[in-house]
């Protein structure tokens, strides 16, 4: 056997070994593509190598074409604007549906505001009508008190009041004497006593009654109540102490008649000497408050229009974790007649009805908490323009990404379709969508949870899920 023949035989064996390895790696279809090329028996090693190279090239081109066709097939069946979520996922994102319907929309401007007390109405200063010593304090700071409830007992040391009471008591005693004398004279047989004597006593009685009326008014002006004066008349003793009581509510108040004051501050203590007019405590009535809004000079015309049209204003309380519930149907009461020279701010005032959120009693004392308190900050939505028959949705339902805006239409429970929309106007609470062919009246969209649905769709399309999604660092 010649040396050339041995080399040829080794080459053929190596080629068949290579074919076996390729068959294992590429599978049966590739082997079938090799068979026609090997049916023609090569005579030399060069012919064997050429035949194997042609077969591998044909297999590679075929596999590449088949892979592209399969990828194209998979792409046709995978949609990038549709996602399905489980019921548990919908609960996790706190999903809330929103049904599309035409409605009217009022475009508003947002202006800052603060809850303030009503000057001359909210606070009531309780002062000492006469000089004396505080002998009892009935209330404590923060306590709720009803009108006519006792506040303080004061032992009277005012010399003028003591003298006025003495004169009043003296006049009462003189009137009693005159009335007794008139009764005695009228009981005597007519003609024995001259009629002029009776006329003189009756004239004196009239004088005493006139003096008593004047003295009674003087006592009332000194701070005594009608009941105190009646006690002097009934018991014929001087009033040694005075009980101060909470005043009645104003007649122009729109609150319930039985609402209470609360003691905002207490200025005296038991045993303290006070002069006439000294402040004893401050009572507050927070049944009605003001919202002081702040605008700029260029907003004056809008505010005047809103006040003239009795436009309904909405307020949102500013909380550390977001906005509080909306306060609706508020009206502008008046606009300030001057602009702040330093800040150039124009103030306007809105009436704010208040309500009690806590009413409890402890150790015989009653305590109340109002939902709105002076100093709280709010944001006022003042309407400036009305639009009719628009698609108005929650602002959280619209997802903006670059130039595109989307909503997620729920075709059936848990199945959402990403739908591009045209946003005509948007504020912090609402978005106005164009009523075009992209949406239909009556469709249900994700009113809450749309952003989480959008993230889930992007993560699925992109493949990788951001491990920091949903976390703030």
Whether 333 maps to a domain, the answer reads no
For residue 272, tell me if it sits in a domain. no
Domain match, 91 and 46 both: no
Residue 359 domain-assigned (yes or no): no
> Quick one: 86 and 72 in the same domain?
no
Do residues 95 and 52 both lie within one domain? no
Q: Residues, the chain, total?
A: 473
- Quick one: 54 and 91 in the same domain? no
Which residue did the predictor score with more confidence, 142 or 469? 142
Please check whether residues 449 and 414 belong to one and the same domain. Answer: yes
Residue 25 lies in a domain: yes
Going by pLDDT thresholds of 50, 70 and 90, the confidence category of residue 106 is: confident
Same-domain pairing of 35 and 87: no
For the cut 70, the answer to whether the pLDDT of residue 273 exceeds it is: yes
Same structural domain, 54 and 8: yes
| 418 part of a folded domain | yes
pLDDT tens track for 25-53: 555 444 454 445 444 444 444 444 444 44
What pLDDT shows up at residue 446? Answer: 95
* Shared-domain flag, residues 416 and 397: yes
pLDDT at 364: 92
Residue 347 pLDDT > 60: yes
Domain-located, residue 400: yes
pLDDT beyond 60 at 6: yes
pLDDT at 15: 59
Give yes or no: residues 51 and 87 share one domain. Answer: no
Q: What CATH number is given to the structural domain containing 422?
A: 2.40.420.20
Please indicate, yes or no, if residue 93 is contained in any of the structural domains. yes
Q: Which of 16-30, 81-95, 146-160, 370-384 has the lowest mean pLDDT?
A: 16-30
Which carries the bigger pLDDT value, residue 462 or residue 277?
Answer: 277
Tell me the whole-structure pTM to 2 decimals. Answer: 0.64
Q: Which of 71, 81, 77, 78 is nearest to 458 (CA)?
A: 81
Please check whether residue 319 lies inside any domain of the structure. Answer: no
What is the 3-state secondary structure of the chain? Answer: CCHHHHHHHHHHHHHHHHHHHHHHHHCHHHHHHHHHHHHCCCCCHHHHHHHHHHHHHHHHHHHHHHHHHHHHHHHHHCCCCEEECCHHHHHHCCCEEEECCEEEEEEEEEEEEEEECCCCCCEEEEECCCCEEEEEECCCCCCEECCCCEEEEEEECCHHHHHHHHHHHHHHHHHHHHHHHHHHHHHCCECCECHHHHHHHHHHHHHHHHHHHHHHHHHHHCCCCHHHHHHHHHHCCCCCEEEEECCCCCCCCCCCCCCCEEEEEECCCCCCEECCCCEEEEEECCCEEEEEEEEEHHHHHHHHHHHHCCCCEEEEEEECCEEEEEEEEECEEEECCCCCCCCCEEEEEEEEECCEEEEEEECCEEEEEECCCCCCEEEEEEEEEEEEEEEEEEHHHCEEECCEEEEEEEEECCEEEEEECCEEEECCCEEEECCCCCCCCCCEEEEECHHHHHHHHHHHHHCCCCCCCCCCC
Judge whether 132 and 242 are in contact, CB under 8 Å. yes
What are 144-193's pLDDT values in tens digits?
999 999 999 999 887 888 888 899 999 999 999 999 888 888 777 555 55
Per the structure, the complete domain to which residue 93 belongs is given by 82-103+387-462
Residues 377-417 have pLDDT tens digits of 999 999 988 888 889 999 999 999 989 999 999 989 999 99
Q: Give how many domains the chain has, as a whole number.
A: 2
**Average pLDDT, integer, range 272-289:** 94
**pLDDT given at position 75:** 43
Looking at the predicted structure, is the pLDDT value of residue 466 above 50? no
397, 436: one domain: yes
* Residues 46 and 98 occupy one common structural domain: no
Which of 77, 112, 132 corresponds to the end of one domain? 77
Q: What average pLDDT score do residues 200-222 get?
A: 90
Across all residues in the chain, what is the average pLDDT? 82
Confidence at residue 221, expressed as pLDDT on a 0 to 100 scale: 84
Q: Is it the case that residue 82 has pLDDT exceeding 60?
A: yes
Same domain flag for 25 and 73: yes
């Amino acid at each position: 056997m010649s040396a050339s023949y041995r080399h040829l035989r080794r080459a053929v064996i190596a080629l068949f070994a290579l074919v076996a390895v390729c068959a294992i790696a590429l599978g049966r279809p590739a082997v079938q593509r090799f068979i026609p090329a090997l049916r023609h028996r090569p005579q030399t090693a060069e012919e064997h190598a050429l035949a194997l190279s042609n077969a591998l090239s044909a297999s590679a081109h075929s596999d590449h074409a088949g892979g592209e066709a399969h990828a194209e097939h998979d792409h046709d069946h995978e949609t990038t604007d549709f996602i399905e979520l489980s019921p548990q996922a919908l609960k996790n994102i706190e999903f809330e549906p929103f049904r599309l319907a035409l409605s009217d929309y009022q475009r508003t401007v947002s202006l800052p505001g603060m809850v303030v007390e009503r000057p001359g109405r909210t606070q009531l200063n309780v002062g000492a009508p006469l000089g004396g010593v505080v002998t009892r304090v009935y209330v404590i700071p923060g306590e709720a008190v009803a009108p006519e409830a006792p506040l303080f007992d004061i032992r009277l040391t005012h010399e003028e009041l003591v003298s006025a009471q003495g004169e009043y008591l003296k006049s009462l005693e003189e009137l009693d004497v005159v009335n007794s004398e008139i009764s005695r004279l009228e009981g005597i047989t007519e003609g024995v006593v001259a009629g002029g004597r009776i006329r003189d006593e009756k004239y004196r009685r009239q004088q005493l009654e006139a003096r008593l009326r004047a003295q009674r008014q003087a006592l009332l002006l000194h701070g005594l109540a009608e009941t105190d004066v009646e006690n002097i008349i009934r018991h014929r003793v001087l009033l040694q102490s005075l009980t101060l009581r909470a005043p009645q509510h104003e007649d122009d108040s729109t609150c319930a008649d039985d609402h209470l004051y609360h003691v905002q501050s207490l200025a005296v203590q038991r045993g303290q000497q006070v002069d006439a007019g000294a402040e004893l405590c401050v009572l507050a009535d927070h049944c009605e408050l003001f919202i002081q809004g702040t605008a700029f000079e260029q907003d004056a015309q809008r505010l005047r229009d809103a006040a003239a049209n009795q436009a309904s204003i909405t307020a949102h309380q500013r909380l550390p974790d977001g906005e509080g519930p909306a306060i609706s149907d508020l009206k502008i009461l008046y606009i300030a007649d001057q602009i702040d020279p330093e800040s150039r701010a124009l103030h306007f005032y809105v009436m704010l009805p208040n309500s009690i959120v806590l009413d409890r009693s402890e150790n015989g004392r009653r305590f109340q908490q109002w939902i709105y308190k002076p100093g709280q900050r709010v944001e006022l939505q003042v309407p400036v323009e009305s639009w009719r028959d628009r698609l108005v949705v929650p602002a959280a339902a619209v997802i903006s990404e670059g130039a595109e805006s989307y909503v997620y239409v729920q075709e059936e429970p848990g199945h959402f379709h990403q739908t591009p929309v045209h946003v005509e106007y948007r504020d912090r609470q609402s978005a106005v969508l164009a009523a075009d062919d992209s949406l239909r009246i009556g469709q249900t969209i994700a009113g809450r949870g749309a952003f989480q649905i959008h993230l889930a769709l992007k993560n699925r399309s992109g493949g990788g899920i951001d491990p920091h999604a949903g976390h703030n660092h």
